A and B are shown apart, each in its own frame.
Chain A
Amino acid sequence: MALKGLDFTINYGEIMVLLGPNGSGKTTLLMILATVLKPTSGTAKVLGIDVTKQPTQVRKVLGIAFQEARGFWRHKPADILRFHAAVCGVPKAKRDVEIEEILKALELWDDRNKLFMHLSGGQAKRLETAKVLIQRPKFAIFDEPSSQVDLRGKREIWEQILRLRDEGSTILVATNEVREAEYLADRVTILDQGRSIVCDTVKNLKDKIAGGDIVELELEPGPDSARLQEELKQIKGTVNLVNTGENRYKVHVSMAEAWVPKMTNLCFERKARLLSVKVTEPSLDDVFLHFTGKALEAPKNA
């Protein structure tokens, strides 16, 4: 995937999530940062080090968990980590203790003597994450870290990534999973067709959407339901109102804190009994849709 007009900076010690659909250029970007691919133009720096001018120096501060977990087929997880730790300069005295700790945390300890070729996709993916965790690089990259992993495993991987951030690493995560992005991101960069569309915190991105809050209402059936629906649409701040069932409405509003009191006053005046009110935020899916005009797909490869 060709990258063009891609421009963003990651602050030290934060988790930046690259959110984009299949083919948006996430993996290409990560490969460039990891010095596996060389860009034909432009500049990329990792912790201030230019990836094309000093690739070896970049590799010394960087660790990457690839999207496709590929290992040496006839090696065991513990051996793979031992090799990786040795190459990455983890002191010999610490290696075995840390390998045990990480394998246990990622629930791979019981399978530590299985050959790589016999691991499931999810186990291989967790082992890929384990490589970066044992390395504790200053700059860590995770490419779709929890794809193919079950729900419990996802949570554990995310907790380990957050812990790595808390220990001082700067982290870049590429994903097309909204939940993963919301769980991990300090900031999100939305990528589409090789371009960075927007970059901000999750909250700010959601606030940038007109009708950024969603209010779900349920009213007691009454004689003037149609009129009340029209009056709800007239409340200042209503962006869109959708009838989702009998006397049920989903209303996109610009600011729920201001809109809900006006709505309750209206219901009180019209003697319409309010059965339930639920205020929710838009998801990053909605944010992606807003900025790109497309739904965020959820296939594997980027």
Chain B
Amino acid sequence: MLEWLTFIIQLTIYGALISQLVTAPQLSANYQQFYAVGFIVMMTYDIGSHTGRHFVEDAHEGRLPYLLSLPISRTKLFLSMAIQGGVELILMLSVPFAITLALIGNLNIISIVAALVTLFCLGFGVTGVMLGLSFIAFKSADVYSAITVGLSSLIIRFSTVLYPLIFLPPGYATAAFFSPLTYGADLVRLILGFDPNILLDPNIAVAVLIALAVSTLGLGLMLLQRLVEGVKAG
């Protein structure tokens, strides 16, 4: 609920004000709409981070040994945590996404579904990254928080979440190619009808997002087996 309220306030006050300042011929759509999509991508990143945080908290509060002792494989345990992240994503994005769709308007069901699939793919990718990080830092919630806050600063700032690639200074633009959010944000915007000239090639974005989701979830699974089940006992 708090996230929804934050989104509504950000969009209606800050988004409306900033859209008066940010105008460019390349932005065929109102900047407020551009900003709304960017905010949703940021929320997707945050929700993915929460999933990793749940894991760290489980470890920190002593629930991890219980989860690890349940009669299920580590793969199923890992996937259940990723699915939990996916369900959270659905619930938490529902209202902001509906508001964004209403703001943009004039959409068909295919583009809505495609945008959602893109967000889920991005969400799973971020979840994989965060679960992987959480396995490295699972003994300390503070270490995990420090890593994710630092990472989020880099990943969000150096991306096209808030501004199109063509608006970014050369240094920022180069760095933005390394942020997964760039590909997620640009692909969602393309699907929702923004001008393709200010966005990345959608084929590259699709490939990057799928590769991200598969590789990070795979990496997370490997880390779970190596770092958690394989804790040195002596």
Contact = CB atoms under 8 A, between A and B. Distances in A.
Interface of A: 1-3, 28, 31-32, 34-40, 55-56, 59-60, 62, 64, 66, 68, 70-73, 87-89, 194
A62 B68 CA distance: 12
A66 B233 contact: no
B71 A38 contact: no
Contacts of A32: 233
B150 to A, nearest CB: 28
Interface residues of B, number: 18
Contacts of B68: 34-36
Contact of B66 (A38, A56, A70): A70
Contacts of B70: 59, 87-88
Contacts of A88: 70-71
A60 B72 CA distance: 7
Nearest to B75: A56
Interface of B: 61-63, 65-66, 68-74, 229-234
Nearest to B64: A36
A75 to B, nearest CB: 11
B231 to A, nearest CB: 5
Nearest to A38: B230
Contact of B63 (A2, A71, A89): A71
B234 A1 contact: yes
Contacts of A68: 62
Contacts of A3: 233-234
Contacts of A60: 71
Task: List 4 tightest A-B contacts by C-beta distance, closest first.
Answer: A2-B234, A70-B62, A37-B233, A59-B71
Given A1-B234, A2-B234, A28-B234, A38 B229 contact: yes
A70 B73 CA distance: 21
Contacts of B229: 35-36, 38, 55
Contacts of A31: 65, 233
A87 B233 contact: no
Given A39-B234, A71-B66, A72-B63, 20 more contacts: A3-B234, A34-B68, A35-B229, A36-B229, A36-B231, A37-B232, A38-B232, A40-B232, A40-B233, A56-B73, A60-B71, A62-B71, A64-B69, A66-B66, A70-B62, A73-B61, A87-B71, A87-B72, A88-B71, A89-B71
B69 A62 contact: yes
Contacts of A73: 61
A29 to B, nearest CB: 9
